[in-house]
């Protein structure tokens, strides 16, 4: 371990951006020297600060004269592992940062083995997932990188035109709703072989709907949606007699519908009978839905 003037440190080469040590620790800790020794490579032509240059930068702003440094392990893999441990953001790097770290590792001949992968992405599969990320079209990669959609969803969007996915990524939707809508629209586009203009028009309609998720589902499952609409229409007829409810089994899987009536006075019984009589007229069509 040795001490190096901060001004000198700030002029050294820097490690990759995701290893900046950002945000730096509280000022008092920097002033008091309560920061780990910064790992450095003292090679030629210029020494480099592998990790923690934001700490050095902040120290300079605070007027701290010197910081402790320690030579990084000579073996590149061990040096990278040390820096990743000091950064301590396993699983919290953005996709761009993961990509940058992977390129840094690759540049130094460090394989993305299970340990390095774990230190970066929090799981052992970085090599595979990064491969998928890198093969995404630029628009999708940007959406993943910005957190608008997850990688798995991006990989499943198939032939959904970029225009449609860009519209959806810009729409005010929850992450979960956006993900579901994108997947459903991608399937509709594939099923109906929609061209770019038709896909964009469908996306516009979905986004403009009162309930975009329901609108996307109606496009993806038109026959199921038609069945649901039919039950709602029949229920509306019953409601003309009173506050009665008619429900299909979940997903129309089952044998029976549920008819619910609240009876508070004798007259309600007559209304329920009238509703059921009207329902009798729809019975064949209703039970044919199951």
Does residue number 210 form part of the binding site for another protein (CB under 8 A)? no
Segment contacting another protein (CB under 8 A): 57-65, 115-123, 221-229, 263-271?
Answer: 221-229
**Residue 156 touching another protein (CB under 8 A):** yes
Report strand pairing: 48-49 vs 38-41: antiparallel
246, 231 in Cβ contact below 8 A? yes
Question: Residue 40: helix, strand or coil by DSSP?
Answer: strand
The residue among 28 and 255 lying less far from another protein, judged by its C-beta, is 255
288 near another protein, rule: CB under 8 A: yes
CB of 169: closest distance to another protein in angstroms? Answer: 21
CA angle 276, 279, 280 (to 5 degrees): 90
223 lies in the site for another protein, by CB under 8 A: yes
Q: Closer CB to another protein, residue 87 or residue 187?
A: 187
**Strand locations in the chain (E):** 2-5, 13-14, 38-41, 48-49, 66-71, 245-247, 258-260
Least distance CB 189 / another protein (angstroms): 10
| Residue 254 sits in the site that holds another protein (CB under 8 A) | yes
Identify which of residues 86 and 248 has a Cβ nearer to another protein in the complex.
248
- 255 lies in the binding site for another protein (CB under 8 A): yes
User: Could you check whether the bond before residue 23 is cis, i.e. omega within 30 degrees of 0?
Assistant: yes
Which is closer to another protein, CB of 63 or CB of 250? Answer: 250
Applying CB under 8 A, does 284 fall inside the site for another protein? Answer: no
Binding flag, residue 290, another protein (CB under 8 A): yes
Q: Does 10 bind another protein (CB under 8 A)?
A: no
Asked if residue 51 lies in contact with residue 87, where contact means CB atoms within 8 angstroms, the answer is: yes
Position among 7, 29, 190, 214 found at the interface with another protein (CB under 8 A): 190
Does the protein bind another protein through residue 230 (CB under 8 A)? no
Nearer to another protein (CB atom), residue 111 or residue 251: 251
Question: Closest separation between CB of residue 155 and another protein, Å?
Answer: 9
**What does the alpha-carbon distance between residue 272 and residue 269 come to, in Å, rounded to a whole number?**
5
Instruction: Verify binding: residue 85, another protein, rule CB under 8 A.
Output: no
Q: CA–CA distance from 185 to each of 40, 78, 99, 146, 154 (Å)?
A: 50, 46, 29, 21, 13
φ/ψ bin of 184: left (φ > 0), alpha (ψ from -120 to 50), beta (otherwise)? alpha
Binding-site member from 68, 92, 191, 262 for another protein (CB under 8 A): 191
Min dist. Cβ of residue 71 to another protein (A): 37
Q: Which of 103, 134, 152, 245 binds another protein (CB under 8 A)?
A: 152
- The per-residue b/e assignment along 151-174, b for 16 or more CB within 10 angstroms, e otherwise, is bebbbebeebbbebbbbbbebebe
CA 95, CA 127: separation in Å to the nearest integer? 12
Is residue 21 classed exposed, middle or buried when 0-12, 13-18 and 19+ CB atoms within 10 A define those classes?
buried
The closest of 82, 35, 86, 24 to 58, measured between CA atoms, is: 24
Residues that bind another protein in the complex, under the rule CB under 8 A:
152, 156, 187, 190-191, 220-224, 227, 251-255, 287-290
């Amino acid at each position: 371990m040795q001490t190096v003037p901060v001004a000198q440190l700030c002029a050294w080469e820097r490690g990759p951006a995701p290893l900046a040590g950002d945000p730096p620790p509280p000022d008092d800790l920097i002033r008091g020297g309560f920061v780990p020794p910064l790992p450095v490579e003292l090679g030629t032509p210029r020494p480099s600060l592998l990790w923690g240059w934001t700490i050095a930068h902040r120290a300079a702003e605070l007027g701290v004269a010197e910081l402790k440094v320690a030579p990084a392990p000579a073996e590149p893999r061990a040096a990278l592992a040390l820096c990743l441990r000091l950064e301590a953001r396993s699983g919290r790097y953005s996709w761009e940062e993961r990509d940058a770290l992977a390129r840094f590792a690759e540049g130094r001949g460090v394989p993305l083995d299970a340990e390095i992968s774990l230190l970066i992405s929090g799981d052992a599969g970085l090599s595979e997932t990064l491969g998928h990320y890198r093969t995404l079209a630029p628009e999708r990669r940007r959406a993943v990188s910005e957190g608008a959609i997850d990688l798995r969803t991006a990989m499943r969007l198939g032939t959904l035109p970029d225009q449609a996915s860009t519209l959806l990524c810009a729409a005010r939707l929850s992450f979960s709703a956006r993900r579901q809508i994108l997947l459903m629209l991608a399937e509709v586009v594939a099923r109906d072989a929609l061209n770019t203009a038709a896909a964009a028009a469908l996306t516009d309609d979905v986004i403009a709907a009162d309930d975009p998720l329901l609108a996307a589902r109606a496009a993806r499952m038109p026959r199921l949606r038609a069945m649901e609409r039919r039950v709602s229409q029949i229920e509306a007829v019953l409601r003309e007699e009173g506050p009665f409810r008619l429900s299909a089994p979940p997903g129309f899987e089952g044998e029976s519908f549920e008819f619910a009536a609240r009876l508070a006075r004798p007259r309600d019984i007559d209304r329920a009978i009238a509703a059921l009589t009207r329902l009798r007229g729809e019975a064949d069509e209703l039970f044919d839905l199951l």
